[in-house]
Amino acid sequence: MTKDLVSRIYDVIVDNNLITKKDKVLVAVSGGPDSMTLITALNELKDKLKIELGIAHVNHKIRKEADDEKVYVENYAKSINAKFYYLEAFVISEAKMHKMGVEEYARKVRYDFFEDIKNKNGYTKIAVAHNLNDKVETILFNMIRGSSLKGLVGMEYEKGSIIRPMIDLTKEEVLNFCKERNINPCIDKTNFDSKYTRNNIRLNLIPMIEENFNPNFLQSMSRMSSLIADDEKFITNYTEKIVNESIISKEKDNIIFKYSNILKEERAVKTRAVKKIVELLLMSTQGIEKKHILDIIKLIENNIKGKKYIIGNKFTVVVLKKNFAKIYINK
């Protein structure tokens, strides 16, 4: 069993080209069962993969035990001769200050920290220990909020420099691995608090579905996610082709585009294409809602020279002439 799990992680890495020779891999380690399984497996595979490992740990200063967990992870890093990187963040007070939810802000702090370490210390990949349960939990979380197709893909093996070698493993398999290897991971008691939406999904919703509807629910959702990922990839690639063909010029603060070929497409492509043009201008679509995209589409469908659509202090879209528009950042 133990050998099989490590071998499966290795196969996922190789099959999906997550790590190549001489990669420098920063591993996010909380000290919990998932991250201890990941760092244990990667440490056993590091010679075979020919990689260097580093360990990053974040203390959110929410629980008393967090200081002990820092010591636990730091000692493990010393035992395998891995560099240890540590951050303390008072996320509860800081989240309020930034008007963000605690979970959302804590995640931002972690990933900003990981990215900063990567950039300053020459790491090429950031390995995180999400498992299949986490993936399904994310899909359900997105579904409940009314997600797009992309949200139903859930977590992927790789996104940018982030890799997830354990995404096919169930939580049960992870816990069994820790037991067999006599790994005594730290247990975060807040993971059992149902007041957090994700915990509620994990502790109550998924077990209820498994018990009453489908005992293989995790695997079924994984298959669904894979099928949706294929469709999402095709639509995304096709949309980017349409956008590239539509852009006439692109400057730092404005883009001129021809929209006649965008309007010929189905609604799914039209909305994505317009959203992509906004993203190319702003480098983000944060704060841009579906109604904004639909209003822009209505503007270019009307095709009236000089007509504008202004979104607050963000940007303006103006029809320059028939079939041509300009989107620019408001100053």
Least confident of 48-52, 99-103, 265-269, 307-311: 99-103
What number is the average pLDDT over the span 75-99? 93
- pLDDT digit string (tens) for 127-185? 999 999 999 999 999 999 888 899 999 999 999 999 999 999 999 999 999 999 999 99
Least confident of 27-31, 118-122, 125-129, 312-316: 312-316
**For a pLDDT cut of 70, what percent of the chain falls above it?**
99
* 270 has pLDDT over 60: yes
Question: What is residue 1's predicted lDDT score, i.e. its pLDDT?
Answer: 44
* 2 has pLDDT over 60: no
Secondary structure (H, E, C), the chain:
CHHHHHHHHHHHHHHCCCCCCCCEEEEECCCCHHHHHHHHHHHHHHHHHCCEEEEEEEECCCCCCHHHHHHHHHHHHHHCCCEEEEEECCHHHHHHHCCCCHHHHHHHHHHHHHHHHHHHHCCCEEECCCCHHHHHHHHHHHHHHCCCCHHHCCCCCEECCEECCCCCCCHHHHHHHHHHCCCCCCCCHHHHCCCCHHHHHHHHHHHHHHHHCCCCHHHHHHHHHHHHHHHHHHHHHHHHHHHHHHEEEECCCEEEEECHHHHCCCHHHHHHHHHHHHHHHHCCCCCCCHHHHHHHHHHHHHCCCCCEEEECCCEEEEEEECCEEEEEECC
Domains and CATH numbers, the chain: 2-215 (3.40.50.620), 230-329 (1.20.59.20)
- pLDDT digit string (tens) for 252-263? 999 999 999 999
Whole-structure pTM value: 0.87
